[in-house]
Amino acid sequence: ATEVEDAPKWTPLAIKLLREAGFEPAAADGIAATGPGGRVSGDDVERWLSDHGNDASVTATPAPAPTEAGTVADDTVQIAGVGYAVPRNIRPTSEILKAFPGRTEEEMIKLTGIKERRYAGPGESATSLAATAVRHALEGSGVEVGAIDGIIMATILPDQPVPAMASALARELGCPKAFAFDLNAACSGWLYALEVGRSLIRSGSARTVVVVTAELTSRILNPNDYETAFLLGDGAGAALLTASPGGHRLHRMGMSGNALQFDAIRRLGGGASRPFPDPTGIDQKDFFLQIDGAAVFKSAITGFADQIEQTLGRHGLSPGDIAWIVPHQANERILRAVSKRVGIAYEKFVVTIAKYGNTSAASISMALGWAVEEGIFQPGDRIVFCSVGGGLTYSGGLLVW
């Protein structure tokens, strides 16, 4: 191979990223050079890898495995398997309407796009749903439970505050030695957890990480609150991240926020400042989830659109390059508005909200699992994730199938 370390054509980062991905610079002829001084930059390499990483005409050496002293390249982190799980109990919109005389089913479906959702029943827990989702993700992945190095659980409502629900899941799955911790970024939680898991693999701290989410929001719903009663449902989803040259390439998940809207989505009770309900019941509502619908609606459209556009920008892509959008399932009106804002047809949005409602942090993973189950993705499809959650939190990123 031609040595190019001293050549002015390449930045050091570009050479590093290319070789970490298992490619020799000589195999990257034709790569765009948009860096300083007309050199090939790290961003140029990432775009080239995204376009050509699975091209059989490009000769590549096996991608390096992570070690304690080393890192692996960005596109070496793969999703090896996905899975999701939902409770048995179906709660149709018509049943919830009984608490709201004067409202019609047609009206509520038009407002939210939700015809039904699932509510966990007796004997069902967030941990049990999460375990089912992970087992589905493991099926066909070629990965054994014993190979799991760590579990990251994204949730707003663990089965119990302490210890972490991820630890309960590790015990349930049969990998008690795996590191395990919970993460809360509300509806953006699963994408935040993906980025944490991806970063751990890239750093060499782990080789196989389960990124899982489970939400039983029905248990903190006020059935008489118009803003939330129709919106939320229960479910779980999981992805198995590995360091290997095969699978579906996971790129960086962008993360940002707007804490000025901290109070737009909240549950005041249950934390250190208000651990127990007032015996008189005066503050009972503080233990239910509360949403400022008008504020969230405006912020969500802008937030979703920004995350999609930022993801496209990071990879030098245009809307026409995207095969699918897998968004947080906020509500149908928001998603249709986002589609118009970014110029990507609504038919390219993977939408499961009619069946499952808004399942908070679980919604993207569930939609991804459903899409894989339905076989709608094709090899090479570029898939964009995007989310807006309480906090406010934002996230978005690229998966190449």
Using left for φ > 0, alpha for ψ between -120 and 50, and beta otherwise, residue 185 falls in: alpha
Interacting residues of 362 by C-beta distance below 8 A, sequence separation 6+: 84, 190, 213, 214, 215, 235, 236, 237
Share of the chain above pLDDT 90, in %: 60
pLDDT score, position 284:
78
Most confident range, picked from 92-96, 206-210, 225-229, 242-246: 206-210
With cut-offs at 50, 70 and 90, classify the pLDDT of residue 29: low
pLDDT score, position 37:
64
Residue in this structure with the two tokens 């911790």, named with its chain if needed: 181
| CATH number (domain holding residue 280) | 3.40.47.10
Distances (CA, A) of 187 to 145, 191, 392: 27, 9, 9
Q: Does 39 share its domain with 162?
A: no
Residues 357-388 pLDDT 10s: 999 999 999 999 999 999 999 999 999 999 99
Q: Does 163 fall in a domain?
A: yes
Q: Does 7 fall in a domain?
A: no
Q: Does 326 fall in a domain?
A: yes
pLDDT score, position 61:
34
Bridging pattern class, strands 382-389 and 116-119: unpaired
Q: Catalytic: 258?
A: no
Mean pLDDT within 270-298: 77
Which of 186, 220, 247 is a domain's end point? 247
- Beta bridge mates, 383: 324, 399
Could you say which of 175, 187, 248, 331 is catalytic?
Answer: 187
Could you say which of 248, 251, 315, 328 is catalytic?
Answer: 328
Lowest mean pLDDT among 59-68, 89-98, 118-127, 163-172: 59-68
Mean pLDDT within 282-298: 79
In terms of pLDDT, which residue wins out, 84 or 291? 84
Could you say which of 136, 175, 331, 358 is catalytic?
Answer: 358
Whether the per-residue pLDDT at 2 is higher than 60: the answer is: no
Q: Catalytic: 328?
A: yes
Q: Does 259 share its domain with 243?
A: no
Q: Does 31 share its domain with 177?
A: no
With cut-offs at 50, 70 and 90, classify the pLDDT of residue 319: very high
Question: Is the bond into 163 cis (omega within 30 degrees of 0)?
Answer: yes
In angstroms, what is the C-alpha Rg of the chain?
Answer: 22
Q: What is the 3-state secondary structure (H, E, C) of the chain?
A: CCCCCCCCCECHHHHHHHHHCCCCHHHHCCCCCCCHHHCECHHHHHHHHHHHCCCCCCCCCCCCCCCCCCCCCHHHEEEEEEEEECCCEEEEHHHHHHHCCCCCHHHHHHHHCCCEEEECCCCCCHHHHHHHHHHHHHCCCCCCHHHCCEEEEECCCCCCCCCCHHHHHHHHHCCCCCEEEEECCHHHHHHHHHHHHHHHHHHCCCCEEEEEEEEEHHHHCCCCCHHHHCCECEEEEEEEEEECCCCEEEEEEEEEECHHHCCCEECCCCCCCCCCCCCCCCCHHHHCCEECHHHHHHHHHHHHHHHHHHHHHHCCCCHHHCCEEEECCCCHHHHHHHHHHHCCCHHHECCCHHHHCECHHHHHHHHHHHHHHHCCCCCCCEEEEEEEECCCEEEEEEEEC
Q: Does 55 share its domain with 93?
A: no
Q: Does 27 share its domain with 85?
A: no
Q: Does 205 share its domain with 164?
A: yes
Q: Does 71 fall in a domain?
A: no
Q: Does 259 fall in a domain?
A: yes
Where in the sequence is the domain holding 26, given as residue range(s)?
12-61
Q: Specify whether the CB–CB gap between 226 and 288 falls below 8 A.
A: no
Q: How far apart are CA 16 and CA 53, in angstroms?
A: 16
Residue in this structure with the two tokens 């038919």, named with its chain if needed: 347
Which of 247, 282, 316 is a domain's end point? 247
In terms of pLDDT, which residue wins out, 154 or 279? 154
Q: Does 263 share its domain with 156?
A: no
Q: Does 269 share its domain with 396?
A: yes
- Beta bridge mates, 91: 117
Q: Catalytic: 248?
A: no
pLDDT score, position 4:
35
Whether the per-residue pLDDT at 73 is higher than 90: the answer is: no
Q: Does 257 share its domain with 198?
A: no
pLDDT score, position 42:
72
Interacting residues of 38 by C-beta distance below 8 A, sequence separation 6+: none
Whether the per-residue pLDDT at 72 is higher than 70: the answer is: no
Interacting residues of 175 by C-beta distance below 8 A, sequence separation 6+: 145, 146, 148, 151
Q: Does 26 share its domain with 155?
A: no
Q: Does 264 fall in a domain?
A: yes
Number of domains in the chain: 3
Interacting residues of 102 by C-beta distance below 8 A, sequence separation 6+: none
Q: Does 312 fall in a domain?
A: yes
In terms of pLDDT, which residue wins out, 332 or 64? 332
Whether the per-residue pLDDT at 161 is higher than 70: the answer is: yes
Q: Does 146 fall in a domain?
A: yes
Mean pLDDT within 156-175: 95
Q: Does 283 share its domain with 393?
A: yes
Which of 247, 269, 296 is a domain's end point? 247
Whether the per-residue pLDDT at 391 is higher than 90: the answer is: no
pLDDT score, position 27:
67
Q: Does 219 share its domain with 275?
A: no
